[in-house]
Amino acid sequence: MESRLHLPPERIARARELASRIVAPVQEFIDAHTTVTVERATLRLAGADGADADGVPVPNLVVDQVRDRLEEGALRFWVNALVRTGDDVAGLSRRVAGGFRLDGIPLADPVSLEAKAAELVSAASMRVRGNRRRREELLARYAGKNHSPLLYVIVATGNIHEDVKQARAAASQGADVVAVIRTTAQSLLDYVPFGATTEGFGGTYATQENFRIMRAALDEEVERLGRYVHLTNYASGLCMPEIAVMGALERLDMMLNDSMYGILFRDINMYRTFVDQKFSRMVNAWAGVVINTGEDNYLTTSDAVEKAYTVLASQFLNERFAEVAGLEPWQMGLGHAFEMDPALPDGFLLEVAQALMAREIFPEAPLKYMPPTKFMTGDVFRGVVQNALFNFASKLTGQGIHLLGMLTEAIHTPFMQDRYLALENAKYVMGSMASLGDEITFRPDGVVVRRANQVLEEAVAFLEKVEGTGLMDAIATGLFADVKRPRDGGKGLDGLRKKGEGYWNPFETHLTRELGLGGGR
């Protein structure tokens, strides 16, 4: 498609080159390290599951037992115990939950360890490949039934069983994507709770059982409605890789997953996040999951006009971090948001310019477009109009994943009728002007074209600066999102380990090979 915004290809290429240079040194650091949650994610892939009487998950129990030897990889101890005890994974999980220790068992010979590990890798692979195939079959069977962009709603009752009712209702009203919001505290927990949950604030816990319950309910809706319904959760916070694994095992379709969000907006340590996001993205890549990145957050904290370039710069970085983790362009739901002040003259033109700019720069990515939130006031009537304009901009510029704005944003978590009204709004607006985007060309010297070119130039200049400083120091000195995050600050640093010479992680090796990535061990 020719550029309607007259964006110079060499400047886009320059931004990509800068992103690649910015990410490279971080990638070297990542490949030399592991974390407690990468190890726990690996154990989950190898079948470790359940929790002890105090609710401590089995993967945590194992990692805590071998905390001083994590540089070797926690999997060795798990596999060794399977070989030595003759237990299956469920049996060993129960035994560990009962207090059994894995760290004192003499190591079996390397050949039997490798053989056992190969068996576990193969079992996980079968399940994840099976999930991926099932999704592809369903999408093929119901091709053309989803909206474009995909209409995305959230459920956030704080009780998984109530969430199921809301999700079924939303699906029957036309939602293509349902995201189950997590409880607000979960991103800072260094474990993933076990089992179905009926509590939480602003959402309930992401647990594997909750994933399974929601997937089963939505699959029934898929059959009933003759339309695929995508399920989304959050591979973010201190357990990014583990949640990615749970999503892979239970066939989630999308994961909120950003390379820097945890650092900037949750004050999680940067080393920890960089290592965690890589493994989580490898798992997402393998499972055919579409990631949704969190650039909208830059605009809820800073001004959407002044800081538009930070969104584009972050998209380039997220793209590069995704690429080196094996994600294909169709899996990169790069984020942005419709957050300009409604009182700004020509604000809508600027929104269209930026949305179309993202579309042209990332032609294959299913861009994730976030609705107005910052200027939603409680005036539900104006809110409907703001959302209608957002819907208009999204369809006009060919976005991929469209999170529906709620008229009651800033008042309460959505009522069932709020979601219905949002879906009706989107279906009306997007249907009524479906082909308008194809009819429009923009004046080469007009507001829209000039704005898009300006933001691109500002993003390139910003990336030049970050490249000069180095990404980690750029974050430490507050170049992103107006916050300073020191290298050694933030949560979760004590869970970081340098990989030893003998680090053993056959799952990582398998993923590296499957995804055609260089490096790794």
Partner 1 sequence: MTTPVRPYGDTLDDGAVQLSFTLPVPFGPRGREAARLLVEKLGFRHAEVVHSAPLAEGFSFYVAYGRTDVSVDFEAVRVEEATGEQVYTMDEACAVIREKLGRKLVVVGACTGFDAHTVGIDAIMNMKGYNHHYGLERYSEVEAHNLGAQVPNERLIDYAVSVNADAILVSQIVTQKDVHIRNLTELIELLEAKGLRERFVVCAGGTRIGNKLAVELGYDAGFGPGTYADHVATFVIERLVERAATRA
Alpha-carbon distance of 127 to 47, in angstroms, equals 11
Minimum CB distance to partner 1 smaller for 306 or for 346: 306
How far apart are the two ends of the chain, measured CA to CA in Å?
A: 41
Taking the least distance from each CB to partner 1, the nearer of 28 and 379 is 379
Whether the Cβ atoms of residue 302 and residue 314 lie closer than 8 Å to each other:
no
3-class DSSP state of 230 = strand
Supply the minimum distance, in Å, between the C-beta of residue 492 and partner 1.
13
Q: How far is the CB of 310 from partner 1 (least distance, A)?
A: 14
Active site residue 191: no
Q: Which of 368, 374, 491, 499 is catalytic?
A: 368
Nearer to partner 1, 198 or 469 (CB): 198
CA dihedral 185, 154, 230, 335 (to 10 degrees): -80
Instruction: Mention every residue, 6+ apart, whose C-beta is less than 8 A from residue 90.
Output: 47, 49
Nearest approach, Cβ of residue 167 and partner 1 (Å):
10
In angstroms, give the least distance from the CB of 266 to partner 1.
7
Show the tokens assigned to 419. 């979601």
Residues at the site binding partner 1, with contacts judged by CB under 8 A:
158, 168-170, 172-173, 184-185, 187-188, 200-202, 265-267, 300-303, 341, 343, 373-375, 377-378, 410-411, 413, 415-417, 420, 483
Q: Which is nearer to partner 1, 184 or 432 (CB)?
A: 184
DSSP 206-227: --HHHHHHHHHHHHHHHHHHTS
Comparison of 188 and 493: residue with beta carbon closer to partner 1? 188
Q: Any idea what DSSP says for residue 48? A: -
CB of 300 to partner 1, least distance (A): 6
CB 391, CB 425: distance < 8 Å: yes
| Catalytic entry in 152, 205, 261, 420 | 261
Cα 1 from chain centroid?
A: 28
Residues with Cβ within 8 Å of residue 490, at least 6 apart in sequence: 263, 267, 268, 269, 270, 272
Give the chain's length: 521
Active site includes 296?
yes
Nearest to 239 by CA among 491, 408, 453, 450: 491
Question: What gap in Å lies between CA 311 and CA 264, rounded to an integer?
Answer: 13
What gap in Å lies between CA 412 and CA 461, rounded to an integer? 40
Q: Catalytic pick from 296, 298, 309, 499?
A: 296
395 part of the active site: no
User: Of 382, 359, 360, nearest to 369 (Cα)?
Assistant: 359
Q: Which residues are catalytic?
A: 261, 296, 368
